[in-house]
Structure 1
């Protein structure tokens, strides 16, 4: 078995990794043809990841023009602890305010430590309700997934 095969995450490992991490780095293509890179909070969504952003942001404008992105999620302070995933993705842009509101609630509850399905406090609903009309939802649907977990190598390479 190749080293590449040894460090690849299984589907269950990948799902657990996406669940524990907190920030994605999203690369879109800017108007000048160069990558535009931005960090975003996210939440796992089906077999992908989802988030929201301001509809007037550069990444939103880039995705209107070309709905493709690459997403990087990584961690590890030294080579033998490196873990991560790169998703080449087609991006579904959500503009329906009710759906964007729910996406915002899912996102904020995750970062507040709530579990999916937990009651939504009225103050959170009110805050998200005011934000949602200015935002769009983004669902990154992977077309290619590359993952690595160097901890599987037991400190050797």
Structure 2
């Protein structure tokens, strides 16, 4: 078995990893053909481990949105680890859907609030905070990343043998 095969994560491991991490790095193609890289908070949608998706929102006037309107494709990286034997990550080439609907964008904003502030989906976001998110949603777009290719690695599977 190759080293590459030894460190590859299963679909379930990829879903668990995406659910445990907090930041994605999103690469889009800029207007001059150079990559534009930006970190974002995200929502892992991994109910179907064979077909994970990621959702987020960002300002509609951002460079990454301009890039995605021109070419709705991105590469997304989620990585973790400080030392070689701890390195884990998932890189996904994705088709991208931009969501301009304010209600759907608000839903993403509320879900992000749950994940990053309340960390408990049973906690209801207070109406006053929903109003703040609604105002933010008016300036934002939702982004859905659907992977077409997934590459993963978990160096801890090598058991210290390199």
Distance 2:74 2:6 in 1: 27
Partner residue of 2:16?
16
Partner residue of 2:3?
3
Partner residue of 1:35?
35
Partner residue of 1:68?
73
Q: Which shifted more, 85-94 or 110-119?
A: 110-119
Distance 1:118 1:13 in 2: 27
CA drift of 1:117 comes to 4.7
TM-score scaled by structure 2? 0.93
The root-mean-square deviation of aligned C-alpha atoms, in Å, is 1.0
TM-score scaled by structure 1? 0.96
Q: 1:143 aligns with which of 148, 157, 161?
A: 148
Cα displacement string for residues 19-70 of structure 1 (whole angstroms, at most 9, x for unaligned residues):
1100000000000010000000101024111100000000000000000000
Distance 1:29 1:116 in 2: 34
Matches within 5 A, 1:46-125: 46=46, 47-125=52-130
Moved over 6 A (4+): none
CA drift of 1:123 comes to 2.9
CA drift of 1:6 comes to 1.0
Matched, 1:155 2:136: no
SS at match of 1:156: coil
Distance 1:117 1:9 in 2: 30
Partner residue of 1:131?
136
**Number of residues paired by the alignment?**
157
Distance 2:107 2:119 in 1: 14
